[in-house]
Structures are given as C-alpha cells and as structure tokens.
Structure 1
C-alpha cells in the first residue's frame, strides 16, 4: 500500500477548482506534501485568479486559461534524491485560487445610534442600514494582508471588519453633510455615491474594490418621530383657538345629553349653561377683535435734501426751507450720465465736471458743451 501511494504521488497533477460555495473567496488546492510536479497543468476558470507560490515566494499570478507550471519537483527523481529528508521534497509549491466575482448583498447597519446635531431638532440619534458589494481587485495584496497561508477564506472572515469601516466612514459623512433630518430621505442617492467614493481607498488597502453601496433607510428615535407626528397634527388642525372652542362645545353637548337625574343633572345643566355662556362670550370677543377697524397707518416721511427736516414722502416742497424736494440733476460733461447738480466728479466714469471752457486764443469763458469760442470762433 505504501509503494502504491508512493507511485500515485508521482503523477503530474491537473490543478483546477470549481466553487461549491458562493461565499468562498480563497481556496488552496490540496497536493500531497505540497509537492507540485514539474509540468503540472493549471486550469483557471472565468471569475478566478490563481496565485502560484513556489518555495515560499509568490512566483506568478495566472488569469483564466490553461497554464503549465514549472517547479523543482521532478517525478520520482526528486523523491529519490530526498532520502536525507525522509523522502519529503524540500521544494514546496502551492496554488491558491482567488474568487474575483462580486460578493453582493453584504449588509451593514448601525449597532449603536449615530449622534449628530440637527438645525431644527438639536442633538438627535440616527440609525440606518443598507447593503454593499465588493470584489478582489488585487490578489497579491489580498494574500499578503488578509488570508496569508489559510487553506480557505470566505466573506464571514472579513465581514465584521468591512462593516465597521463603512460605519466609520458614513458616520463622518453624515455629520459633515449637515443635512436636516427631515431632508435626509431626498439625499439617499447622493450620500450613497459619496460613501462609496469615501470607502475606495480603505478597501484598496486589503486588495478589494467596493463596487456599490446603498443606504436603504435612515431613521430617527421613536421619541423624535412621536414629536414630529404631534407637530404634523397641529399643522393639520390649523388655528388652535378655534379648535379649542370646538372641543369645548363638543364637551358641553355631551354633558347636556347626560340623562342622569337629581342634583347631578341640575349641576351638569348649570355647568353646561355657564360653559356655553363663557364660550359664546369668548367667541363674541374674538369676533369683535377680528372685526375692529384698524387705525390708519402714519404716512411715510423722508428727509429734505436741503435742510434735512422730516417731511411727507410725496411732498413737492419743504415746509421748513421752502425749497423744492425734487433733486436737481445735470449731465456728465464726459459720459452724459445723469448726476446730481453741482457734483465735482461723475459717479459713473469719474470724470471731473468742468463748468466753463476758457478760449485759449481770446480768453473768453464758454459753456461746458461749447465746441467753438463764441467771441473769436476758435476751436475749443
């Protein structure tokens, strides 16, 4: 039996793997004593990558297809030369199959509420949950950082760590967004996209690529939701005074319908009458207050541009100084814009306002818009 196993172990291997579990990420192909023979056939299927480790070092990464492996192990000859080590070959080689498909429907959720400051409700506690998907993008980094030399590795081994990474990033994202709690629902898509971008670098450190991230729900504590329901009810009811009067009238009617006899009925009737009188008096007073004519508004006033006295806005002359209220204007001598009369500079172009032009020939003063001297005809 020992001789049979000896010769059986010298056959050249055909190395392949078909995934039987959708959550398996890494599978190490089992070879007797990890002695892969020279010329072994390696078959890598779609959605797989094979990492060939020869004598303790990563020798190559194989993509889908058929490959031939070259090692130091020659059938029979290597085994016979290994008598010093008890016929155990010192040339060890392993093949790790890495699943590169997407691992979808991975769930995340808040184990503890997220504390954040809301502009309307103040300090609130936020809970949320959703799903995400990822895949192995760099098998070498994945081998070195996570699964090492494990015979198999699945999503459960890394699920807890990835979930905590996502929660840490989303907590920071929600706080920085400063979106009011009532408006969070309309930003689910934007927050999901930003959260995915925020996670890319963190996932890449383990050789992963996050392909999607979705926020399914963000909810407030039960106490805050009850307060919101009360506020909604108040908004539906409208005028609280009218609603209070209506409630009082309903209570009075129910009391008046009480058919109990004796002093109880008499007291109820007296109380009902008093309540009706008070309600009617309150309604009458409220109506009087609503229908009372409002006092005429005081006319608006402005300051006189000459003496600064307070006058009516529609007055044409100042009752204090007698000057016209309308501001006198003139045209800029450069850009012709409308400016205040007597201004030294234009507010539009900044040009200095020249009131008169002096003739360079005869010295006569002419108007600011004159082009020729009125005395000698010299061109100005």
Structure 2
C-alpha cells in the first residue's frame, strides 16, 4: 500500500453509536458541520436503526449491519442531492441513531385521584400505579412526531406524555369493567389486559408499541377500605361474639378516659351499662335461650280437581269423617317438592288409623 493509500484510509469515517445508558431513545451523531466523507463506514448494531436526514427531510434508514456509504447505499439521499454520477467527499447530512430495543420497567401512576361512581359506596376516589414496557417500531415516524430536531432524546422526555395516556385509559377501563370496587385487587390481571389493549392505538401514532403493561395496585380511601373489611368479616364472624368484643374494647377506652370527673362519670356509667349488656349476653349463652314454639303444619288439599286450604290436621280429620278426604287424596305443604297422596305423608298416616274408612257404596 502506497503512502497516498495509507493517508486516504485514515480519513475514512466510521459512524456508529455505542449506548452506555439504559434510557437513550434517540441520539444525533455529531459531526463537524455535518460533513461525512465518501466511503465512510456506517455501523448499526442490533437494537438500533440509523436515519439520514437531509435539510430536515428523512432520507435513508438503515437496519443493523455494516455499510460503506456511497451513492448505491444512499439512493434517496443521492436523489435529494441530485448526484447523478456519485458525490465528492465530504457531503452534509444529519445521522440519527434510534434504539429499537424494549425499554423496560417504566413507571406510571395517577398524579391525581380518579373519581369513580360505585353502586355500593357511591362516589369515591381511586389511585393506581404499575409498570410498562415499550419500543420504537417506526423510527421515521417517531423522529417526525416526537423527536424533531432534538439531538438527544431519552425516556424522561416522553414519560409524562405516556403517563397521561395510561391514566386516561385506566379511567376508561375501570369505568367499563363494571366491577365492585372490592374486586379490583383480585382482578388486576384482567384490568391490566383491558388497559393494554386500549393503549395500542394511542402509542402507534408516535411509531411506538406497548409491549407489556402491569397494573400493580389500586388504592382507595382508608374509610372505604375499612368498611369493605368490616363487610367481608360479617359473613364469617359470629355477630354475638363480635358485639361482645367491641363492647369490651369500648369499656377499655371508657375506663382509660382522662377527661376529668364529669368525663369519668360518663365513662363509668357507659361502662356499667355495657357491662350489664355483656353480663346478660353471657348469662344467656350459659343458660341457653328457650327454643321457639312449634308451628302447626297446614296442608293444601286437592278437592274436586281444585286446590283448597290450607287445612290443619283437625280440619283434615273432620273431612275424613265426612268422606271428603281419602287416602289417595293429594296434599302439599311447605317443604314438599311435589303433591303426594295423603297415605304417603308420614305426618298424616296416624289419622287413618284413628278413623274408620268410609262405608262402601251399596
């Protein structure tokens, strides 16, 4: 290789971008007066795209690979420049590197509470937070719609806009889900999927795609949470025991009330009344409460193809004596699934033993 070739090879540019951060989306390759030498090497790494811009117009876009820049590799730029037979070094163009990898673990949350009208608790305010991931799927669109002429563009530059989109879609999703507010915690995955599907069109207009979305927590006012917990316990806690427990706690508070003589008197009076109530409950639980009086069973009777009654057993016995009521007469009472013959009902079998059957017809 001659001296001229050695000097010439030293002036061949290498255009590349090595990203040492985890938040750079777009960076502009800075050159002195944007001059790029003929036969320069362009290196585009995996997870990147390189965009050549001429006087504000996007020209050529390069995917991962190594390229020698000339009129063959820059067909659009060649057309824009009007090069018919090649170009002389140097030439001017802006080069932007766009990271197309996934940007993971992006945080989102509601700045202000979202108002929801719940059918059980009325108007209430909710807050939520979670994470999402996105990537650039159309680098040219992203450069035009978002970046503009910025030489450096990071995730922080677009975070607030993306959060606004997510919070809006969160509000839409919880409104359309029509779930009781106490069910949100157990349906985070379903809500995440609903919000995820809503956001795709919002991101695509910027040349972006949401690749993952997670709703990690939905919080509500403390008084609503307390009420939900109380209601959930009512189904599993003995009400009498719960009342006794709360009475005991109230006595404890009253006994420790340091509000002076008057307050002490009120506390003592309340304590005595509560103590009496506890004693009464305890005595009843020890002695047992008498069972409720038995109720008389009444029956509906099928007479002449019509439903009649209800009748008690004494009335049915009178009907038996007059021949109106027979063993095969159909009867029904509360708790029976269907009409049955009287002789099949255990409770009525004894009346047939106490009364003689009707006389046969002569």
TM-score w.r.t. the length of structure 2 is 0.66
Aligned residues: 291
Distance, in Å, in 2 between the alignment partners of 1:288 and 1:181 is: 43
Query: Contact 1:302/1:313 (CA < 8 Å) preserved in 2?
Result: no
Distance, in Å, in 1 between the alignment partners of 2:147 and 2:61 is: 16
Query: Contact 2:27/2:151 (CA < 8 Å) preserved in 1?
Result: yes
Q: Look up the match of 1:46.
A: 46
Q: Look up the match of 1:226.
A: 226
Task: Give the 3 Å change call, closer, same or farther, for CA 39–55 of structure 1 in structure 2.
Answer: farther
- Secondary structure of the corresponding residue to residue 290 of structure 1: coil
Distance, in Å, in 1 between the alignment partners of 2:231 and 2:56 is: 68
Query: Contact 2:12/2:37 (CA < 8 Å) preserved in 1?
Result: yes
Q: Offset of 1:35 from its aligned partner?
A: 2.8
Deviates more, 1:179-188 or 1:55-64: 55-64
Task: Give the 3 Å change call, closer, same or farther, for CA 313–54 of structure 1 in structure 2.
Answer: farther
Distance, in Å, in 2 between the alignment partners of 1:21 and 1:155 is: 11
Please give the per-residue CA displacement for 1:85-142, whole angstroms capped at 9, x wherever unaligned: xxxx8x6312111011111111001111121133433322111110101011111111
Q: Offset of 1:279 from its aligned partner?
A: 6.9
- Secondary structure of the corresponding residue to residue 158 of structure 2: helix
Q: Offset of 1:281 from its aligned partner?
A: 6.7
Deviates more, 1:301-310 or 1:195-204: 301-310
Task: Give the 3 Å change call, closer, same or farther, for CA 203–60 of structure 1 in structure 2.
Answer: same
The structure with the largest alpha-carbon Rg is 1
Q: Look up the match of 2:30.
A: 30
What does 1:298-337 align with in structure 2 at a 5 Å threshold? 298-302=297-301, 304=303, 306=305, 309-310=308-309, 325=329
Give yes or no for the alignment of 1:297 onto 2:296.
yes
Task: Give the 3 Å change call, closer, same or farther, for CA 173–277 of structure 1 in structure 2.
Answer: closer
Q: Look up the match of 1:187.
A: 187
Task: Give the 3 Å change call, closer, same or farther, for CA 176–284 of structure 1 in structure 2.
Answer: same
More relative contact order in 1 or in 2 (CA 8 Å, sep 6+)?
A: 2
For structure 2, list consecutive stretches of 5 or more residues without a partner in the other structure: 1-6, 72-77, 256-267, 332-362
Query: Contact 1:134/1:211 (CA < 8 Å) preserved in 2?
Result: yes
Please give the per-residue CA displacement for 1:160-194, whole angstroms capped at 9, x wherever unaligned: 00011011001110111112222212211222122
Distance, in Å, in 1 between the alignment partners of 2:154 and 2:101 is: 13
Please give the per-residue CA displacement for 1:194-244, whole angstroms capped at 9, x wherever unaligned: 221211111111111111111111111122223344556666762338844
Give yes or no for the alignment of 1:103 onto 2:85.
no
Distance, in Å, in 1 between the alignment partners of 2:135 and 2:102 is: 5
Query: Contact 1:36/1:94 (CA < 8 Å) preserved in 2?
Result: no
Give the structure with the higher percent helix: 2
Task: Give the 3 Å change call, closer, same or farther, for CA 179–33 of structure 1 in structure 2.
Answer: same
Q: Offset of 1:302 from its aligned partner?
A: 4.6
Q: Look up the match of 1:172.
A: 172
Q: Look up the match of 1:341.
A: none
TM-score w.r.t. the length of structure 1 is 0.63
Task: Give the 3 Å change call, closer, same or farther, for CA 234–35 of structure 1 in structure 2.
Answer: same
- Secondary structure of the corresponding residue to residue 98 of structure 1: strand
For structure 1, list consecutive stretches of 5 or more residues without a partner in the other structure: 1-6, 80-88, 256-267, 328-380
Aligned CA RMSD, in angstroms, stands at 4.2
Task: Give the 3 Å change call, closer, same or farther, for CA 68–251 of structure 1 in structure 2.
Answer: closer
